[in-house]
Amino acid sequence: MATVSSAAPPRTAAGPWSWGARAGGLVGVGDLPAGTWGVEALLQVHAPGPAGPTIFAAAELWPRQQASSDQGIDLSLQIATGRAGLCPVERRWAAHGLSLCAALALGRLDAEGKGSAGAYHQDRWRASADAGVGVTERLYGGWSAALEARLVVPFRRDRITVTDSAGAPEVLFRAAPVGGVAALSVGYTPNSSDR
């Protein structure tokens, strides 16, 4: 799955390494039920030089959310995930930035399906790889806003199933081979110069 954005604001020559932090919201589709939302906090370290890559680590929480099908079957899920990755390509123009990033994620899914004749509970590990593009706009000083879109490829596709009133299994959700995440965040890099 999901940097809130791993894109970083412009760096200066204040030191050989710099760091930053971001936080914001996520919306997922494909490997998660459409419209599932979450939050993410991210720490990033920038290598020396204007073209140095960014390394990042993030924690995502997709809080418990519920939905109902037309057949009156309920679905409830919650996911906690850790991500780590690299942005090998970053370009900056004045207050604007563009980043291409990739990451690996490992998390825990807790899901329940409840139908008229039974219920299903799933508590399992989930892993994925993702790649995305982020755009950053410096706001003032070290503050910036970022928007990111990324593709997510789950290593194992999640499936949530219940038993209907006739005793037959009914799939409430089956993850797509490729999902997507959109992220909007605000970040701060202490050693960025004021505008």
- Those residues whose C-beta lies under 8 Å from the C-beta of residue 49, and which sit 6 or more positions away, are none
The pTM (predicted TM-score) of the whole model is: 0.78
Q: How far is residue 175's CA from residue 157's CA, in Å, rounded to a whole number?
A: 5
CATH of the domain at 173: 2.40.160.70
Beta carbons within 10 angstroms of residue 20's beta carbon? 24
Q: Running DSSP on this structure, what letter comes out for residue 194?
A: P
Beta carbons within 10 angstroms of residue 79's beta carbon? 22
Q: Let me know: does 52 contact 87? Beta carbons within 8 Å.
A: no
**For residue 72, what are the domain limits?**
18-188
**5 occurs within a structural domain:** no
**184 occurs within a structural domain:** yes
Write out the two tokens for 190.
């202490």
Highest mean predicted confidence (pLDDT) among 24-28, 96-100, 114-118: 24-28
**176 occurs within a structural domain:** yes
User: How many domains does the chain divide into?
Assistant: 1
**97 occurs within a structural domain:** yes
**195 occurs within a structural domain:** no
pLDDT for residue 3: 43
Band (pLDDT 50/70/90 cuts) for residue 126 is very high
The answer on pLDDT for 40 being more than 90 is: yes
**33 occurs within a structural domain:** yes
Write out the two tokens for 192.
């960025």
**Which candidate, 26, 31, 29, places its Cα nearest to that of 62?**
26
| Tens of pLDDT, residues 135-144 | 999 898 889 9
| Bigger pLDDT: 194 vs 167 | 167
Q: Which residue has the tokens 């929480």?
A: 61
The answer on pLDDT for 70 being more than 60 is: no
The answer on pLDDT for 10 being more than 60 is: no
**193 occurs within a structural domain:** no
Q: Which range has the worst mean pLDDT, 62-71, 74-83, 134-143, 169-178?
A: 62-71
**87 occurs within a structural domain:** yes
Band (pLDDT 50/70/90 cuts) for residue 9 is very low
| Bigger pLDDT: 29 vs 7 | 29
